[in-house]
Chain A
Amino acid sequence: MNILVCIKQVPDMEARFTPNATGTWFEESGLAFRMNDYDEFAVEEAVRLKERLGGEVEVTVLSIGPDRVVETIRKAMAMGCDHGVHVRDDVATDRDPWQIATMIAGYARSRGFGLIFTGMQSLDRGSAQVGVLVAELLGLSCATTVVGFSCDGATATVERELEGGTRAVVRLRLPALLTCQLGLNTPRYPTLPNILKARKRELLVLSPGEVGVEAPLAEASGFSRHERRSTCTVLEGEAGELAGMVVDLLKERTAVLRRGGGR
Chain B
Amino acid sequence: MRETRELFWNVGQGSVPLMYLLSLAAVAVMVQGFRRLFGAWRLGRPLDRFDRSRERISRFLSETMTQRRVLRVPDGGLLHSGLFWGFITMFVGTILVMFQADLLSPVFQVNMLSGLFYRIFSLVLDLAGITALLALAGLFVRRYFIRPDGLETTQEDGLVHALLLCILLTGFLIEGSRMAVTEVRDNPALALWSPAGLLASRLFASMGDEAVAGLHRGLWWLHLLLGLGFIALIPRTKLRHLFTTSGNSYFAPLEGQGELATIDLEDDTVDRFGATLASDLTWKDLFDTDACTACKRCQDRCPAWVTGKPLSPMKVIRQIGRSASESPSKSLIDAVTREALWACTTCGACQEICPADIEHVVKIVEMRRSLTLMEGEFAGEEVRKATSAIEVTGNPFGMAPASRGAWAEGLPVSVMADDSRVDLLYFAGCYASFDPRNRKVAESFVRICAAAGIRVGILGAEERCCGEPVRMMGNEYLYQMTARQNIAAIGKYGVTRIVTACPHCFTTLDRGWRNLGLEIPVEHHSTFIAGLVGRRQLKLAPEPFGFTWHDPCYLGRHNGIYTEPRSLLKAAGGKLSEMEASGPDSFCCGAGGGRILAEERTGRRINSERVRMARNSGAGTLVSGCPFCLSMFEDGMAAAGSGSGMKAFDLAEIVAARIGG
Which residues of A line the B interface, CB within 8 A? 12, 14-16, 30-34, 188-193, 195-196
Contacts and interface: CB of A to CB of B under 8 A. Distances in A.
7 contacts: A12-B400, A16-B403, A30-B461, A32-B393, A33-B392, A190-B376, A191-B376
Given A189-B378, A193-B374, A195-B477, A12 B398 contact: yes
B171 interface: no
B482 interface: no
A193 B400 contact: no
B548 interface: no
Contacts of B461: 30
Contact of A193 (B271, B377, B378, B398): B271
- Which of A189, A192, A193 has the largest count of B CB atoms less than 10 A from its CB? A192
A24 B140 CA distance: 83
B649 interface: no
Nearest to B402: A30
Contacts of B398: 12, 14
A191 B375 contact: yes
Contact of A32 (B272, B374, B387, B392): B392
A14 B400 contact: yes
A14 B399 contact: yes
B378 A15 contact: no
B388 to A, nearest CB: 8
Contacts of A30: 400-402, 461
B394 interface: yes
Interface in B364-413: 373-378, 384, 387-388, 391-394, 398-403
A191 B377 CA distance: 9
Interface string B65-101: 0000000000000000000000000000000000000
A32 B400 contact: yes
B265 interface: yes
Nearest to B273: A192
| A-side interface mostly | loop
B392 A12 contact: yes
Given A14-B400, A189-B377, 7 more contacts: A16-B400, A30-B400, A30-B461, A32-B400, A192-B373, A192-B374, A192-B476
Interface in B248-277: 265, 271-273
Contacts of A34: 388, 391-392
Interface secondary structure of B, over-half rule: helix
A33 B375 CA distance: 25
Given A14-B399, A16-B400, A189 B376 contact: yes
Which 10 residue pairs across A and B have the least CB separation, nearest first? A30-B402, A189-B376, A192-B373, A15-B400, A34-B392, A32-B393, A14-B400, A193-B271, A32-B392, A192-B477
Interface residues of B, number: 26
B384 A14 contact: no
Contacts of A191: 373-376
Contacts of A31: 400, 402
B400 A189 contact: no
B402 A193 contact: no
Interface of B: 265, 271-273, 373-378, 384, 387-388, 391-394, 398-403, 461, 476-477
B402 A15 contact: yes
A196 B476 CA distance: 13
Contacts of B402: 15-16, 30-31
A31 B387 CA distance: 18
B273, B373, B394, B399 — most chain A CB neighbours (10 Å):
B373
A128 to B, nearest CB: 23
Nearest to B481: A195
B595 to A, nearest CB: 19
Nearest to A200: B268
B384 A189 contact: yes
B394 A32 contact: yes
Nearest to A29: B402
Nearest to B375: A191
Contacts of B477: 192, 195
Contacts of A33: 392
Nearest to A16: B400
Nearest to A190: B376
Nearest to B376: A189
A16 B377 CA distance: 32
Nearest to A188: B376
B432 to A, nearest CB: 18
B640 to A, nearest CB: 27
Given A30-B402, A32-B400, A189 B387 contact: yes
A26 to B, nearest CB: 12
A32 B485 CA distance: 14
B365 to A, nearest CB: 15
A38 to B, nearest CB: 15
Given A12-B398, A30-B402, A193 B393 contact: no
B514 to A, nearest CB: 22
A6 to B, nearest CB: 20
Nearest to A194: B376
B374 A14 contact: no
Nearest to B374: A191
Nearest to B369: A192
Contacts of B373: 191-193
A31 B403 CA distance: 10
Nearest to A189: B376
A15 B398 CA distance: 9
A190 B403 CA distance: 28
A15 B375 CA distance: 31
Contacts of B384: 189
Contacts of A12: 392-393, 398, 400
Nearest to B265: A196
A34 B375 CA distance: 22
B200 to A, nearest CB: 67
A20 B384 CA distance: 33
A32 B392 CA distance: 6
Given A189-B376, A191-B375, A192-B373, A32 B401 contact: yes
A21 B70 CA distance: 70
B264 to A, nearest CB: 11
Nearest to A17: B400
Contacts of B388: 34, 189
Contacts of B399: 14
Chain A CB within 10 Å, residue with most, of B376, B378, B384, B391: B376
A31 B393 CA distance: 9
B338 to A, nearest CB: 15
A33 B391 CA distance: 10
A188 B387 CA distance: 13
Nearest to A195: B477
Nearest to B271: A193
B333 to A, nearest CB: 14
Contacts of B476: 192
A32 B387 CA distance: 15
A196 B265 CA distance: 8
B139 to A, nearest CB: 48
A57 to B, nearest CB: 21
Contacts of A193: 271-273, 373-374
Nearest to B461: A30
Contacts of B377: 189
A33 B273 CA distance: 28
- Most chain A C-beta atoms within 10 Å of own C-beta, residue among B374, B402, B461, B476: B402
Contacts of A195: 477
Nearest to B391: A34
A137 to B, nearest CB: 32
A206 to B, nearest CB: 26
Contacts of B376: 188-191
B180 to A, nearest CB: 74
A31 to B, nearest CB: 7
